[in-house]
Amino acid sequence: MRTGPQASWRPGVPSVPSTPSSYLVFAIQADQCLRMCVFVCVCVCRQWEDAEIMVLLQVMYVDLDFTATFNIEPDVLHQFLFEIYRRYNNIPFHNFKHCFCVTQMMYGLIWLTDLRSKMDSIDLLIMLTSAICHDLDHTGYNNAYQINARTELALRYNDISPLENHHCAVAFEVLERTECNIFRNLSMDQFKRIREGIIKCILATDMTRHNEILNKFKSILPTFDFTSKEHRDVLMMILIKVSDISNEARPMEVAEPWLDCLLQEFFNQSDMEKLEGLPVTPFMDRDKVSKPSSQTGFIRFVLLPLFIELANLFPCLEMEKALERETQNRAHSDVTGKSKEAAGSRRESQTNAGPEAQRPHAQ
């Protein structure tokens, strides 16, 4: 039985601003930023320190009134977030900053679509906490690798969403610790509902379930009813899916660095698959994949349909126009990329460059 490649947890935790006054100033500025354009404000997240990101996550819980409504003590919230931070591995893409980007998108969507007037606080708490926990202890190797390599996770979860099941398990392991249990002042019935909701949301991020969840959402859209638990559950799954893949809907200067990180993780996996004699995931093969080719199909067949259906429920998002502009940007990037590749090929033939020059760049 293989355990699969291991990624190390972070050894320590960051510190928050040192004085109450500096914390307050940062929190006020952060709140203003986080409520700005949902697709743009997170562009600075790669520049923020982890300690600052930790404060931003705390601000979200306070700003949505979770700390007051559910009697979440500040020290418990701090400790919960510290333990979550420690359990995100230092890998190229599925790391703590990705956790923050997904959570910020969820937070922004809650405000932008006025979900506070449409859903109760427990549903919103489920969605935000699910976003924070959705990739806990991700090793950088996807479910296909886990299953093909017969890793410990694949065996433990019988090849059924091994990563997503693991993310859930790690989240509730943290919550089992009294000093980290942000739900400890809730009733048993409330906790049961929250646990069920978090599990549903995190398991929904398994992309093999994408069509199933999207088709379900499309089927209920004409008669969508916020008083229906079934309808709300499907919407919550859609919202975490949208948040999870939202990088490609952000401005190019935000999206491209994250794509570089994702491709690096993909290439690491395909290298490992080749080394271990496993089936090589086609869209991860560094010898065959380029930036444009890795994104065109994903945007056209996965991201666009998902965002457009969400905009059908929330016209205020105006995602169709935004994504049309983004598609035009991608098309321009494709042309530019092909021109650069053609120029590189000409230089290669002139200098007899080796095969390495033909590989896609993780720029």
Instruction: Enumerate the known binding-site residues for AMP.
Output: 94-98, 135, 244, 295
The count of C-alpha atoms lying within 13 angstroms of the C-alpha of 168, restricted to the half-sphere facing its C-beta, is 21
Q: Could you give the residue ranges of the DSSP H alpha helices within 204-290?
A: 210-220, 229-244, 252-276
Q: Cβ(310)–Cβ(221) under 8 Å?
A: no
Instruction: Determine which one of 94, 166, 167, 231 is catalytic.
Output: 94
Q: Which helix (H) or strand (E) holds 24?
A: helix 20-34
Known binding site: residues? 94-98, 134-135, 244, 295
Give the torsion sign (CA, 81, 83, 87, 91).
positive
d(CA 128, CA 232): 15
Bridge-partner residues for 2, per DSSP? Answer: 151
d(CA 274, CA 271): 5
Q: Is 94 a catalytic residue?
A: yes
Q: Which of 262, 237, 267 is nearest to 97 (CA)?
A: 262
Structure tokens at 237: 């799954």
Residues, the chain? 363
The count of C-alpha atoms lying within 13 angstroms of the C-alpha of 273, restricted to the half-sphere facing its C-beta, is 24
Which residues contact residue 98 at a Cβ distance below 8 angstroms, ignoring those fewer than 6 apart? 135, 258
d(CA 315, CA 21): 40
CA–centroid distance for 38 within its chain:
14
Structure tokens at 210: 């994408």
Give the residue numbers marked as catalytic.
94
